Structure 1
Amino acid sequence: MDDFRLRVFYSVARHRSFTKASAELFITQPAVTKHIKALEDMLSLRLFDRKGNTIVLTPPGEVLFRYAGQIFDLYQEALFELNSFKSQQKGSLRLGASTTIAQYLISPLLASYYERYPTIQLSLLTGNTEMIEHAVLAKEIDLGIVEGKKHHAGLKYHDFLEDELVAVVHSKSRYSRLKEITLEELSALPLVLRERGSGTLEVLETALQGRGIRPSNLTVVMHLGSSESIKSFLEHANCLSILSSRAIEKEVRSGELKIVSIKDFRLPRTFSFVHLQGLPEGLAAGFMTFARRYYQQ
């Protein structure tokens, strides 16, 4: 149903590489070049330019890339809807979600999915990002949703939702009077942070290293395994933490927790779908499309 030339273009545009598109689509690099040229000839437009060793999209290429993403999402959604008329729509889908996502995002999504597709059996494995990635690699789950960096060459990552990490204190803490701190002040303040293997900790440490600050220089009093345990700890200790803004929405609204700005320092991150290399198929592909539509509403 879909145009393979457009799929080739979309792969090259996402990776900014003919070689990576070739590996993803299991075709030769000359074949990739041939498909791109055929598409450009058909459109009478140049879609890519080369700048040194880098491939960049032309303005027409940017437009096509945006629409191609929407086309493939709609295509997957159409297949998913059509499969509801066939027995293939029945079955089981094994999902995994890192801790923050499982606690604050996925429950309403799963409930909506169940209401729409009650014949599909869902299961959810929860753990930190590292655990979920290993579960995908071991084929213990079909699809994961994780936070943090992309780690494994054997896994495919697709951007899902944007998030931001923020510094937070309890309103009863002596540090609640703070409105803004510097990175140097952050390093000196007592911190309670997520455990090793969590995407939250990894994003923080990577960003600090980019600013020349070693994670070992932080004053970390404890590592805990969930945002909920950290929030409870903050209630009884004069400490700061770095948590997902999605994890503290209710407490910030109620005044229980307070966000402290860090001068000239932000911690954006992306939640991602993750599956084994290759294009996702069947229920996993349909769930990705359903989830994106759900959070776009």
Structure 2
Amino acid sequence: MNIENLKIFCLVVDEGSISQVARLCFVSQPAITRKIHQLEDFYGTLLFDRSEGKLKVTETGKILYHFAKAIVNDFNHSKEVIQQLTGESNIHLTVGASLTIGEYFLPSLLGRFKKQKPDIRVTLSINNTPRVLEELSNDVIDLALVEGLVENSAFKVEKFAEDELVLVCPPDHPWKDRKEIQIQELANERMIWREAISGTRLIVENTLREYGILEKIESYMEIGSTQAIKSAVEAGLGISILPKLTVARELEQGFLHQVEVPGIKMTRNLWLVQKNKRFSKAGISDFVEFIK
């Protein structure tokens, strides 16, 4: 048995699809299937149930997965540590980021980091918070930057920044010459929301509910993309409350107008998440120190 078979086995369990693993590894599906069969022959048991056209992990497969994951992780860590000690390491970090952070915050930040640490190669993976944390758990990425709630006790979670949520309206809105409004005035407007599961929406709704205004606001439209919401507000379809990080350019260029609501400040925390490990990969401490 070789370590590659265990790696492939773990990937198939994580991805739930032989075809997907074949694409990720740039090999054919039969090659992946052959490695799984070799592993099953070695252990003398089926690791996957292939009945009914679906691939399901058997009970013995589930047990092996935990051992295989630990073996593969220890093997990878041993290579990294030895390469660091011998000075032969080509440092490559894979950073996972949730959508807002990855699209609006990290690009310029990574540019500055590369100027300070040109020998460290960084790959950025952008996805929603649950998927990013899943990739961290499965060692697909080295660390994560997210704005959503992190409940996994196996992770080391640190706040690295705050992002303010701001009220924006079109540049030709009746509020265009006003710096602030009273919260009761929101009841007369059409609100454009993120989808119901959005962490940003939850913060906004909880705040407006505290002031007894949430039920009075007309929920005019629900859109699952921050960029699409910005475009809808620019087009005069309504107002919205969005992370300032995402609207900074539009505010500067005059495509959107920010209005203050006295006495109300909505913020969300941005989190740096790492997996607890015995050995820290080279370059991670440099990146974490830079982020902080």
In the superposition, the TM-score normalised over structure 1's length comes to: 0.59
For residues 93-125 of structure 1, give each alpha carbon's deviation from its aligned partner in whole angstroms, at most 9, with x where no partner exists. 111112222222211221223334344332212
**Aligned mates of 1:202, 1:133 — CA distance in 2:** 20
Q: Secondary structure at the match of 1:113?
A: helix
In the alignment, which residue of structure 1 is the partner of 2:88? Answer: 87
In the alignment, which residue of structure 1 is the partner of 2:186? Answer: 186
**Aligned mates of 1:133, 1:173 — CA distance in 2:** 40
Shift of 1:174: 4.5
In the alignment, which residue of structure 2 is the partner of 1:258? Answer: 257
Are 2:195 and 2:223, in contact at CA under 8 Å, matched by a contact in 1? Answer: yes
**Aligned mates of 1:281, 1:171 — CA distance in 2:** 49
Shift of 1:190: 1.3
Matched, 1:152 2:152: yes
**Aligned mates of 1:85, 1:109 — CA distance in 2:** 30
In the alignment, which residue of structure 1 is the partner of 2:53? Answer: none
Letter in 2 for 1:163: D
In the alignment, which residue of structure 2 is the partner of 1:284? Answer: 284
Cα 1:176–1:142 change in 2 (3 A) is: same
Are 1:98 and 1:126, in contact at CA under 8 Å, matched by a contact in 2? Answer: yes
**Aligned mates of 1:94, 1:219 — CA distance in 2:** 42
Q: How many residues matched? A: 208
**Aligned mates of 2:132, 2:167 — CA distance in 1:** 26
Are 2:183 and 2:213, in contact at CA under 8 Å, matched by a contact in 1? Answer: no
Matches within 5 A, 1:1-297: 86-88=87-89, 90-176=90-176, 179-209=179-209, 211=210, 213=212, 218-277=217-276, 281-282=280-281, 283-292=283-292
**Aligned mates of 1:187, 1:129 — CA distance in 2:** 31
Cα 1:217–1:164 change in 2 (3 A) is: same
Structure 2: which 5+ residue stretches go unaligned?
1-83
Shift of 1:197: 4.4
**Aligned mates of 1:247, 1:273 — CA distance in 2:** 19
Bigger-Rg structure (1/2): 2
**Aligned mates of 2:118, 2:200 — CA distance in 1:** 33
**Aligned mates of 1:147, 1:280 — CA distance in 2:** 26
Shift of 1:263: 3.3
For residues 173-213 of structure 1, give each alpha carbon's deviation from its aligned partner in whole angstroms, at most 9, with x where no partner exists. 3453554334443355211122344442233234345x165
In the alignment, which residue of structure 1 is the partner of 2:79? Answer: none
**Greater percentage in strand:** 1
In the superposition, the TM-score normalised over structure 2's length comes to: 0.60
Letter in 2 for 1:113: F
CA RMSD of aligned residues (A): 3.0
**Aligned mates of 2:156, 2:279 — CA distance in 1:** 9
For residues 233-278 of structure 1, give each alpha carbon's deviation from its aligned partner in whole angstroms, at most 9, with x where no partner exists. 1121331111122222232223321111223211122211112246
Shift of 1:130: 3.4
Letter in 1 for 2:236: A
**Aligned mates of 1:136, 1:214 — CA distance in 2:** 39
**Aligned mates of 2:279, 2:261 — CA distance in 1:** 39
